Amino acid sequence: MFWWRRYAPPYFLPPQFPSSPEEELRMLEDYKRELEREIENLREELKSVEEEIDRLKKEIESGERRPEVTAPTPPYMPPQYWMPFGYGYGYGWGRGRGGMGWGRGGMGPMPPAAGPQQAPMQPPPPGVKRVAASVDDNNGLNSRISIRFGRAPFIAFIDIADNEVKSVQILPNQAAAAPMGAGISTAQFIISSGATEVIGTQFGPNVSMAFEQANLRVHTVEPGIPLSEALRKAGLLR
């Protein structure tokens, strides 16, 4: 079992109380960097939402209709970013300087990402490569690649051998409506399925790290294209 399956992201080790002004400065600089990473994550999510809004507006204006899906698309729920360990501002360490200093509320690990668990999948047969992709609908190889990953409505699993598609399974993404940790929950499900490659439009830092730890190859493509085209662009089909 991978270590990241036991704890919620992001994965920071708990800080120690500072023993000197230099140590306190180092801790605060680390905290600043972590806040900057959170801000960057929020900017990326905002960009994704704006792109999805623009795409939906164009779809409505053009009068095009989506193919019927077998399950409703869950409402969009933005991910929540949190830090399992860190420090805040207030009365804290002090160190004899009048009791004032940097402090933080209680330290301890956050609970694991909440959300329903996906049913386990059988691994691919020997000699068969399994590819996973986040898609917006359940329409076989014509399913459209989703602009989202952890909150995509469906996850497609494509088994490929001898440069041919042997099977396509498209499953509802149970983590899509989770209050937090949708990305890492989806990544865990894909890894447990036996997939060795994954296709999507963008991946957060924690998801990317999880795939790297599991030696999964990641392919990025533009959203809205058919799954078959995404497989060709990734070099998995001719």
Cα(186)–Cα(198) distance, integer angstroms: 11
Q: What is the pLDDT along the chain (238 residues), one digit of tens a residue?
A: 444 444 444 444 444 455 678 877 887 887 788 778 778 777 877 887 888 888 888 888 887 665 554 544 444 444 444 443 344 434 344 444 344 344 444 444 434 444 455 667 889 999 999 999 999 999 999 999 999 999 999 999 999 999 899 999 999 999 888 888 889 999 999 999 999 999 999 998 889 999 999 999 999 999 999 999 999 999 999 8
Domains of the chain: 3-103 (no CATH), 129-233 (3.30.420.130)
